[in-house]
Amino acid sequence: MQPVFFALMSRMQNVQRWGKSNPTRAENVAEHSMQVALFAHALGLIRNKVFTDQPPLDENQLAVMALFHDAPEVLTEDVNSGIKYSAPRMLALCREMESIASDLLLGTIPEPLQASYEPLLQHGDGGELAQLVKAADLLSAYTKALGELRAGNMEFEGTERKVLLALQPFIDDLPEVAWFMDNFVASFQLTIDDLVEAAFEPK
């Protein structure tokens, strides 16, 4: 075993997303993972600070899980979700490929550290935390689609509809996701001038 884990992780910036969708702006897996971590952390804080009648969550753990949620893609590349979910057998094959990649990545970490990284690379079902990371992942895709539509890229019309449909169960079942949608998502359709103006509005 060669301890090449972090060198491999640094290659996330070379794995492009939306390869089949002709985006106006390229997005790589590293920046996507960073955004998902920001969103997942926010969902944990919303749970803990807004919906205080619910059991608290560790927002920092959510952020770390999100940072690694697409780690296998440094070996597998990004598979278009339309293709990935096109048929049960295709999804099963993609899941198997991701599992193999996770095992390989774990093997590139020195043994004393492996137990700490294993749940991040092989999170499986993962319960409620994994559900919130998945919601954050979809929120990232949804805001990307909104940004592309604002730029006039109608290629993302179908993406926006499909991602919102996938998000709907999370919106219905997880109040923090609905709160995030209500409070943050609309701003992704603003121009930079609108955003700066909003930032400097008197409170």
CATH number reported for the structural domain that contains residue 113 in this entry: 1.10.3210.10
Report the domain count for the chain: 1
The tens digit of pLDDT for each residue in 63-105 reads 999 999 999 999 998 887 878 888 899 989 988 999 999 999 9
Task: Report yes or no: 12 and 75 within 8 Å, Cβ to Cβ.
Answer: no
For 65, the token pair is: 């899980």
Tens-digit pLDDT profile for residues 98-139: 999 999 999 999 999 999 999 999 866 668 999 999 999 999
Predicted local confidence at residue 122, as pLDDT: 85
**Burial of residue 48, with CB atoms counted within 10 A of its CB: 0-12 exposed, 13-18 middle, 19 or more buried:** middle
Q: Which amino acid, residue 18?
A: W
d(CA 169, CA 164): 9
Predicted structure pTM score: 0.93
Tally the C-alpha atoms within 13 A of residue 162's C-alpha that lie toward its C-beta.
13
What is the tens place of the pLDDT at every residue in 5-28?
999 999 999 999 988 888 999 999
Q: State the residue range of the domain holding 26.
A: 5-199
* Euclidean distance between CA atoms 173 and 133, whole angstroms: 14
